[in-house]
Amino acid sequence: MNEKETKNKSAGRFAFFASRDASLKSAVNSSRFSDSQKIKAERVKLGLELAYSAEEVLITFCKKWIRVKVKNGIARDRKALRMLEADYAGLGYVKRKTPQGFIYRVS
């Protein structure tokens, strides 16, 4: 299959299995982090849910860090978002923009 075909066709069941694989890896990797690290990620998620109007806000556990993804988010409360991001920068959290939304790298 060439690149042009994959851009124009639905990923179908491959997308389902890729999503399932990612969620299983995240569940396995969650055991690498302490309860306090998980609570920090949950607090970041809750803060972002208040500041963004998003399709989904989810936590993913990677091997070395935790990331909180804001999928297709639009800032609902810009002032609160600026304050949150200033706090996150002070704590060393990194924000990245992706085509699907924003990713905040925690711990």
Q: How confident is the model at residue 12 (pLDDT cuts 50, 70, 90)?
A: confident
Q: One-letter amino acid identity for 38? A: K
DSSP code for 56: E
| Beta-carbon count within 10 A of 55 CB | 12
Q: Kindly report the pTM of this predicted structure.
A: 0.81
pLDDT tens per residue, range 46-103 = 999 999 999 999 999 999 999 999 999 999 999 999 999 999 999 999 999 999 999 9
pLDDT score for 57? 95
Q: Which residue has the higher pLDDT, 82 or 7?
A: 82
Query: pLDDT digit string (tens) for 23-45?
Result: 999 999 999 999 999 999 999 99
Spatial CA neighbour of 105 closest among 78, 51, 69, 55: 69
Alpha-carbon distance of 15 to 63, in angstroms, equals 22
